[in-house]
Amino acid sequence: MLKESFLEYLSLERNYSDKTVTSYGTDIAKFEEYFKGVDESLDFTVVDGDIIRGWIVKLMDEGYEAASVNRKLSSLRSFYRYLLRRKLVEADPTQKVVGPKRKKPLPVFVKEADMDELLDAVDFGTGFKASRNRLIIEMFYETGMRLSELVGLNDRDVDFSASVIKVTGKRNKQRLIPFGGELKEDMLAYLSLRDDYAADASAFFVGKGGKRIERNAVYLLVKRYLSKVVMLKKKSPHVLRHSFATSMLNNHAELEAVKELLGHESLKTTEIYTHATFEELKKVYEQAHPRA
């Protein structure tokens, strides 16, 4: 039997674990069950790409994720490569079969109302740390900068007269991000308190011992404050970056402009946020329209 020969090869010659061999065997057996249901006279040596594509469609209809379907297809590819090498089949029917594309998860973001509550209603306390912590949240949300960009920010990177921040992104690529009057006031208020703590003369944000604030400290404080207003599974600086992009597009910013502000190389990377805003729009429609 072709299947048994292949599984023996995996176990004895490739030294695959029993669990892996069983997984391959299950995938191949399920495929055989499928094509026998299509035509009882079929066997592994005569099935073609159309049969395999039909199997993929059936799996997707049954609710399998693309990753699971591709793993099963990978089992089948290995099986047919084995049969072809041993001249047990004349052609590999999987060769021209393309598996389903993995669906990219939509970015997690905080709604504008929740961000307003966090920045306007949550008590951050008083003093230097309170001012710094609130400003970090505000800066992520109002500029869309990355965690590494915020931590690496220096005093000389902030031009208060022009109201722009120069950030150094991936591959040391620099870009300018404008900021508004409220953020400007909050930055100046923070700096007036920071100078009594700063040991690092260049770093904009300082932490323990007055030295440049560490990435982990920023990550934890963002997570702590986001937990006060949202129940999201992910609570990180990157969620605030997503929130910035989503808010900009929801308020009619051009996609190209958002791309430049985020420092994306390609417009395709930024386009994922249009899907996020559309998903939100669909939810509003379904909740509000009487015939939805």
The residues spanned by each domain of the chain are 2-85, 112-288
Q: Tell me, which fold does domain 112-288 have in CATH?
A: hpI Integrase; Chain A (1.10.443)
- Residue 128, class by beta-carbon neighbours within 10 Å (0-12 exposed, 13-18 middle, 19+ buried)? middle
Q: Tell me, which fold does domain 2-85 have in CATH?
A: DNA polymerase; domain 1 (1.10.150)
Q: How confident is the model at residue 284 (pLDDT cuts 50, 70, 90)?
A: low
Whether 175 is a known active-site residue: answer: no
Lowest-pLDDT range of 2-11, 33-42, 127-136, 194-203? 194-203
For residue 27, give both structure tokens: 């995938």
Considering just the CA atoms, what is the radius of gyration of the chain in Å? Answer: 27
Q: What is the pLDDT of residue 287?
A: 74
pTM of the complete model: 0.66
Considering the candidates 30, 58, 81, 238, report the single residue annotated as catalytic.
Answer: 238
Whether 146 is a known active-site residue: answer: yes
Buried b (16+ CB within 10 A) or exposed e, 236-267: bbbbbbbbbbbbbbbeeeeeeebbebbbbeee
Largest Cα span, the chain:
84
Whether 264 is a known active-site residue: answer: yes
Considering the candidates 170, 173, 208, 224, report the single residue annotated as catalytic.
Answer: 170
Whether 170 is a known active-site residue: answer: yes
Handedness of CA 100, 16, 30, 52 (dihedral sign): positive
Considering the candidates 146, 194, 235, 242, report the single residue annotated as catalytic.
Answer: 146
Considering the candidates 3, 53, 129, 264, report the single residue annotated as catalytic.
Answer: 264
Tens-digit pLDDT profile for residues 70-110: 999 999 999 999 999 999 999 999 999 999 987 777 789 99
Tens-digit pLDDT profile for residues 225-248: 999 999 998 999 999 999 999 999
Considering the candidates 77, 134, 235, 241, report the single residue annotated as catalytic.
Answer: 241
Handedness of CA 201, 205, 211, 214 (dihedral sign): negative
Considering the candidates 80, 190, 225, 273, report the single residue annotated as catalytic.
Answer: 273
- How do 164-168 and 158-159 pair as beta strands? antiparallel
